Amino acid sequence: MISLCMITRDEEQFLERCLDSVQPIVDEIIVVDTGSVDRTREVADSFRARIYDFAWVDDFSAARNYSLSKASGDWILSLDADECISENDHGLFKNLVGNISPGSLAYSFITRNYINDPNQVGWTANDGIYATEEAGGGWIPTEKVRLFPNRDQVKYAYAVHEMVEPSLQRLNIKIKGCAIPIHHYGSLFKDHKKSKMLTYYQMGKKKLNATGNDKVALYELAVQAGIIGKAEEATELWQKFIAEKTDQPEAFVHLATAYFQLQEYRSALQASKRALALDPTMKEALYNYALCEFLIGDVGKTIANLDDLLAKHPDYIPARFLAAAARICCGDIQRGLNGFRELERTDMRPHLSATYKDLIQRLAGANRLGCVRALMEFSKEIGS
């Protein structure tokens, strides 16, 4: 028997899709509501969910653990309201628990966090395999345990970015990865994302203080600061993290992005070089390096680096955009315009004109007036 356990608050926009996607593969639905004022409870009730109230105490783990206490199944499936599982994977899901005794194993899932911004670390273009579920232009992956045995000792830890893994490890319950993705949509909706990210940021600050600058908490807060636009704070947090742990190229990529937001392009270039020294194949580091070269260095080098990058990642939209712009600046007008025409047939089209104008403004700020003039000549044709 499988119990779906979830916590909600004002999730009527997403909840029906979530519950509809998993109703055939779970035996009961536990919804712990932390104060909804919309139709969340009504939607949950239409799926015969068992609904419980829980006063919000700034602690995601507390709410999730309350949901676990109400489950009667042998297995717990944990989802958020803005997530779903494809019907195509229902058979695979049932096989996960079909021949295994509850209590001996837990499963981690990759979450496909759909986004419209291809500049984020780990972005992967949609490929059509999950045509019904795919959204935005692509997704970034995260991984955590979603399916685990229902045992009293299995509990969530941490007030924010809550995880069940620590208790599983203490109990020597093996964690196995599975091939079924979780599809997550909340990041596509600006108001939903902004509210959630601000909550995570505020709680992340409390978590960092409570854990005494724990590296995981520091990493999480640095990411959140960058997402909500606190670039100066993000650079300070990434520098602290790097001082403790210098072997993660992702940290230098995030640091470069924060410097880029502050228009400190030379610092961004140095951070990109550090990332490449740690991982010469990391596409985000290669892109950041090429972008900084374009803004303050050698445009010809930009094109050469981007051609190498696109040979390995032909669907990497930020690199395709920058390569098209760099070709126009170097006088290869037709290839540059062709590149933009191709981008107009992608999910970038609604954002193409604004991104083009932003690049021109950054080039002007960096005193690359030759590139500004070249791009201005064709600005009316891009994204129109």
Listed residues 136, 164, 184: the one ending a domain: 184
In degrees rounded to 5, what are phi and psi of residue 124? -130, 135
Do 246 and 108 share a structural domain?
no
Overall number of domains in the chain: 2
Residue 190 has pLDDT above 70, yes or no: no
Same domain for 281 and 150: no
Last residue of a domain, one of 184, 203, 233: 184
Its sign, for the CA torsion 112, 268, 356, 232, is positive
- Residues 154 and 236 both lie in one domain: no
For residues 207 and 165, state if they share a domain: no
- pLDDT cut 70: percent of the chain above it: 97
Same domain, 32 and 116: yes
User: In this structure, are 251 and 322 located in the same domain?
Assistant: yes
The parent domain of residue 276 ranges over 191-381
Note the pLDDT of residue 117. 78
Q: Model-level pTM?
A: 0.78
Q: 131 exposed, middle or buried (CB, 10 Å; 0-12, 13-18, 19+)?
A: exposed
Question: Is 336 found in the same domain as 230?
Answer: yes
On whether both 150 and 224 belong to a single domain, the answer is: no
pLDDT digits (tens, 9 = 90+) for 56-102: 998 999 999 999 999 999 999 999 999 999 999 999 999 988 767 76
Per-residue burial over 85-95, b = 16 or more CB atoms within 10 Å of its CB, e = otherwise? bbeebeeebee
Q: What pLDDT band is residue 381 in, cutting at 50, 70 and 90?
A: confident
